[in-house]
Amino acid sequence: MQRRQFLAATLAASALTAARRTPAQAPVPGAREFYLLRRYQLKSGPELKLTENYFAAALIPALGRMGMGPVGAFKLDIGPETPAYYLLIPGAGVEMVAELDLRLAHDAEFLAAAAPFWNATAGAPAFERVESWLLAAFEGWPRVTPPAAAASKGKRMFQLRTYESPSNGEHVRKVEMFHSGEFEIFQAAGFHPVFFGDTLVGSRMPSLTYMLSFADTAELEAKWNVFRNDPAWKKLSADPRFAFDPIVMNISNLMLSPLDCSQI
């Protein structure tokens, strides 16, 4: 299947899923974004600084010239296979995100700044491997919402959660659950959600991924306690349509901290 046909088919499937959801009040106006979520698997030593410098001096400035942002750049603190860095790159259109590397290859300013990373050799690699996911923002949370502390580079941490479902139908119901009151429960508990994304292309599908921001682990634990004891959550989670076991079979829960260059 040609690339454009593939993207069209993927978006059509996403639109069909969206049509079956219950609308929710959007926290930020505007059309929904698409996200490129990337994991850079690294080794301790020169790779860490080389990759961080690449983000700060080459990639994030180039994305800004393309009108893409704010960009999140994170270090994995708690999760499998550390060290690793994560990037969250939002874009207004799916092709803008999917074709990012092709566009970067034609940006002379980027290539000059990125040369140490972009042209690394097998003898001195910049990373071990890179894994990518293409996500569509939820209709009920259509845009990235950075925490207030991001503007001043204040103290903050992030929780990146991925829910895997046993089938496409169960996945659709889990997304519907967010649009049936779960967003409001998060907000009532005092959470600061950053994004919610439906996986269009990636590993371990069908799945969805979302990110929450906290000042520290104490706030994280306190907010989750409020959430799980909220009567609205107990009612929603007790609804037979949204019973946990059939619609979610595995949860990945990662703890991240922002790199100095992060705009989120």
The per-residue b/e assignment along 72-86, b for 16 or more CB within 10 angstroms, e otherwise, is bbbbbeeeeeebbbb
Q: Which stretch of DSSP H or E encloses residue 75? A: strand 72-78
- Structural tokens at position 136: 């569509």
User: Is the peptide bond prior to 83 cis by the omega test (within 30 degrees of 0)?
Assistant: yes
Which whole number is the average pLDDT over 59-79? 97
Query: Mind listing the pLDDT tens digit for each residue in 15-60?
Result: 334 433 333 333 445 689 999 999 999 999 999 999 999 999 999 9
Find the radius of gyration of the CA atoms of the chain: 19
The confidence score (pLDDT) of residue 24 equals 35
- Structural tokens at position 210: 């979302």
Which whole number is the average pLDDT over 248-262? 96
Which whole number is the average pLDDT over 165-193? 96
- Return the CATH number of 31-258, one of 3.50.50.60, 3.30.470.20, 3.30.70.100, 3.30.450.20: 3.30.70.100
For every residue of 165-192, DSSP letters joined together read -SSHHHHHHHHHHIIIIIHHHHHHTT-E
Among residues 122, 235, 222, the alpha carbon closest in space to that of 184 is found at 235
The confidence score (pLDDT) of residue 243 equals 77
The confidence score (pLDDT) of residue 14 equals 45
Among residues 131, 113, 129, 125, the alpha carbon closest in space to that of 45 is found at 125
Q: Is the pLDDT of residue 4 over 80?
A: no
Rounded CA-CA distance 189/185 in Å is 6
Query: Mind listing the pLDDT tens digit for each residue in 216-254?
Result: 999 999 999 999 999 999 999 999 989 767 899 999 999
- Measured over the CA atoms of residue 46, residue 47, residue 52 and residue 57, the dihedral's sign is positive
The neighbouring-strand residues paired with 212 are 159, 193
Angle (CA) 20 250 229, round 5°: 80
Among residues 37, 50, 26, the alpha carbon closest in space to that of 158 is found at 37
- Structural tokens at position 83: 């060290």
The confidence score (pLDDT) of residue 154 equals 93
pTM attached to this predicted model: 0.87
Q: Is 157 exposed, middle or buried (0-12, 13-18, 19+ CB in 10 A)?
A: buried
Hey, how many other C-beta atoms are within 10 angstroms of the C-beta on 190? 12
Among residues 159, 238, 154, the alpha carbon closest in space to that of 193 is found at 159
